[in-house]
Structure 1
Amino acid sequence: MRKPTIKDVAARAQVSLKTVSRVINDETGVHASTRERVQRAVAALGYRPDASARSVRTGQSYAIGLLYDNPNPYYVIAMQSGVLSVCRQTGYGLQIHPCDASSPTLADEIVQLVKHARLAGIVLAPPMSERQPLVDELVANGVRLVRIVSSTTDPQGGSACVYVDDRDAAYDITEHLIQLGHQRIGFLWGGKSHGSSWERHKGYEDALRDYGIALDPDLVVEGDYSFDDGFRGARRLLALPQPPTAIFGSNDEIAAGVLAAARSGGLNVPYDLSIAGFEDSPFSKQSWPPLTTAKQATEEIARHAARRLLHDIREEPDAPAPNEGFSPELVVRGSTAPPRPKG
């Protein structure tokens, strides 16, 4: 069967080709009932605009990019799904591009990518989004972008962003463990190139301080956002003369590694060791016991970033869209419990 065309949509909705085009491009000036009729025809026919053809025809770009450097596949998949859903709604194409955030020529590489792929703009994910010199150079080269960053408040000024309050969520996780009765709480870092790692560690520190618990550097282990680093970090903590009774991993993949290390050492989770993660990825639900974590709406965050980018690209006449913030929420599951009584 041939693919439906814009002419098919116009015929089914009984409107002109121009009206269909204006609805697909989300332009103003189309009566609500007409817009609804066109949208019903699009849905019924399964019509998908050809972004490259539209670009050639109009001289404008109808594709955006999602750029990331993250070892967590669940995070990347959720980001892709969120941005892609907005692209499908608006008739834009999407180019997904992994990057090496440590590359000294990263700014030039991104500028060339945008130019050669004729991208109208990019959604820039951490850690690249949190490097102000890189962002400044991209903007100076005319790259439209929206950043996703870890921040407790709206980082006003500079380029548009969606920000996530990792610090407050990490505080809630640590407070939960303290209120269960844990005093020795280990912390496993994610990659230090990510602002989220620093914010989650700061939330951990703040909660300990507010509850009068001294920060023990032996209970803090550096690593990356990976299962293997969670396993290694947990083995190191559990070998201490006074091991922790709870461990907070900076994401669920790390926490799953902690769970594996606990099992390999014959520990009963949560009674011998409580474990908490962050992000509410499939790791947190599929493990046994399921992990206490912070629910981060990664797909929704990506959708908001894509919508903000398209708002700027299309230079919509209303007021500039504000930067939007998200606060991950504590989800208590079976991996945390009061520590065993001594003796």
Structure 2
Amino acid sequence: MKPTIKDVAKSAGVSFKTVSRVINRESSVGEEIQGKVWKAIKELNYQPNLSARGLRGSSSSIGFIYDNPNSNYVIEMQRGILKECHNQGYELVIHPCDAKAPGLISEIFNMVDRSRVGGLVLTPPISEIPEVLDALRERNIRFVRILSGSQAPDNRSPCVFVDDRTAAYRITQYLIDLGHRDIAFLSGDEEHKSSSERLAGFKSALKDNQIKANNRLILKGEFSFESGVKRTRQLLARSSRPTAIFACNDEIAAGTLFAARLHGLDVPRDLSIVGFEDSPFSRQAWPNLTTAQQPNTEIACTATRLLTEQIRRKKGEKASESEGYYPQLIVRDSTCPPAAP
């Protein structure tokens, strides 16, 4: 017969509740006791049933909720969450969904009930939808948000914020310092706050340098390669072309680079291109893309750690504080001063 939790407790000389606490990695158990329990588990080849009564129950796993067309972003997020889940002894339930779906909240509730997750890591745009956040709070479902902003929007739950606006300002200032004045901006999906934050940083840098923002050079679109190609071809078909293009992410920037080649342009001599996020697109493109480094895997690790701390926090203990990330400019080969008229 398979060994039970009581067998482990007897072998380690502790109560089965103590075994449960050790398996759940609760900090209240001393290191010596933990060592005895883990030794007994190994010797008996005991396989804990994390969903069984008396163990962690609904907290045996956490959920990753996302709606993002950028496969690199999703993969990097998964990598970071899985890494921290492994460190903390949790399983991961991955749930892609449509942020625009009318039944989004019910879908999330059904997933939580079905999978018995102890909490959720929310990524944009779902992490920035007030109705979703309010519904989760009403049902006392723990969550950590990853979102765009220069600071945490509130202290009602911990979050990981990414200062897209300042990073976009620095990218634009870098292009201006090179001598560019006619700079186009290719936005991402409108429902993602990062799009508006990066656009705000772009416009702010233009304003501080007494450069009037040209609305004809600001094109709406999506966070995709195809969207980058389409909008860049529109720009390059005009009689008056920009000398530089700020793409809202590296995937768009890669599409911009492809379109520039189709038009027979030399990058960066004829057209400078910058992206955002430092994804594989920026490093695999030729020339390599100037971009802003956004450590998505590290961000995901931090969000998962904050969530597990929240799940294990006991009544009266201080809640974890939100943490911020500040993408840094990485200059590569896709930018240079504009060609002389």
**8 Å contact 2:144–2:158 — kept in the other structure?**
yes
TM-score w.r.t. the length of structure 2 is: 0.90
Give the aligned partner of residue 200 of structure 1: 198
- Three-state SS of the structure 2 residue aligned to 1:94 is strand
Output one character per residue of 1:96-140: Cα deviation in whole Å (capped at 9) or x when no partner. 000000011111111111011111111111001101122111221
TM-score w.r.t. the length of structure 1 is: 0.89
Aligned equivalents of 1:97 and 1:48: distance in 2? Answer: 30
Aligned equivalents of 1:179 and 1:139: distance in 2? Answer: 46
Give the aligned partner of residue 161 of structure 2: 163
**8 Å contact 1:49–1:91 — kept in the other structure?**
no
Q: Which runs of 5+ in 1 are unaligned?
A: none
Q: Which runs of 5+ in 2 are unaligned?
A: none
C-alpha spacing 1:22/1:141, structure 2 compared with 1 (3 Å): closer
- Three-state SS of the structure 2 residue aligned to 1:66 is strand
Aligned equivalents of 2:4 and 2:327: distance in 1? Answer: 42
Tell me whether 239-248 or 316-325 shows the greater mean CA deviation: 316-325
C-alpha spacing 1:38/1:265, structure 2 compared with 1 (3 Å): farther
Tell me whether 247-256 or 311-320 shows the greater mean CA deviation: 311-320
**8 Å contact 2:278–2:291 — kept in the other structure?**
yes
Give the aligned partner of residue 269 of structure 2: 271
Q: 1:54 aligns with which of 47, 50, 54?
A: 50
C-alpha spacing 1:212/1:304, structure 2 compared with 1 (3 Å): same
**8 Å contact 1:111–1:141 — kept in the other structure?**
no
Identity %: 49
Q: 2:279 aligns with which of 278, 281, 295?
A: 281
Aligned equivalents of 1:196 and 1:40: distance in 2? Answer: 48
**8 Å contact 1:64–1:92 — kept in the other structure?**
yes
- Three-state SS of the structure 2 residue aligned to 1:97 is strand
C-alpha spacing 1:209/1:118, structure 2 compared with 1 (3 Å): same
C-alpha spacing 1:206/1:266, structure 2 compared with 1 (3 Å): same
**8 Å contact 2:26–2:312 — kept in the other structure?**
no
C-alpha spacing 1:141/1:181, structure 2 compared with 1 (3 Å): same
Aligned equivalents of 1:101 and 1:191: distance in 2? Answer: 12
Aligned equivalents of 1:49 and 1:126: distance in 2? Answer: 36
- Three-state SS of the structure 2 residue aligned to 1:159 is coil
Question: What is the Cα deviation at residue 30 of structure 1?
Answer: 4.0
Tell me whether 237-246 or 218-227 shows the greater mean CA deviation: 237-246
- Three-state SS of the structure 1 residue aligned to 2:173 is helix
- Three-state SS of the structure 2 residue aligned to 1:56 is coil
Aligned equivalents of 2:304 and 2:178: distance in 1? Answer: 40
Tell me whether 237-246 or 174-183 shows the greater mean CA deviation: 237-246
Q: 2:233 aligns with which of 219, 232, 235?
A: 235
Question: What is the Cα deviation at residue 160 of structure 1?
Answer: 2.4
Output one character per residue of 1:131-186: Cα deviation in whole Å (capped at 9) or x when no partner. 11221112212321111110112212333211110101111111111111100011
Aligned equivalents of 1:238 and 1:48: distance in 2? Answer: 65
**8 Å contact 2:17–2:54 — kept in the other structure?**
no
Aligned equivalents of 2:306 and 2:40: distance in 1? Answer: 27
Amino acid at match of 1:120: G
Q: 2:131 aligns with which of 120, 133, 145?
A: 133
For the pair 1:336 / 2:335, whether they are aligned, the reply is yes
Superposition pairs for residues 206-245 of structure 1, below 5 Å? 206-245=204-243
RMSD: 2.9
C-alpha spacing 1:37/1:224, structure 2 compared with 1 (3 Å): farther
**8 Å contact 1:24–1:90 — kept in the other structure?**
no
For the pair 1:249 / 2:247, whether they are aligned, the reply is yes
Amino acid at match of 2:54: T
Aligned equivalents of 2:38 and 2:174: distance in 1? Answer: 47
Question: What is the Cα deviation at residue 315 of structure 1?
Answer: 1.7
Question: What is the Cα deviation at residue 15 of structure 1?
Answer: 8.2
Superposition pairs for residues 184-199 of structure 1, below 5 Å? 184-199=182-197
Amino acid at match of 2:52: V
Question: What is the Cα deviation at residue 57 of structure 1?
Answer: 3.6
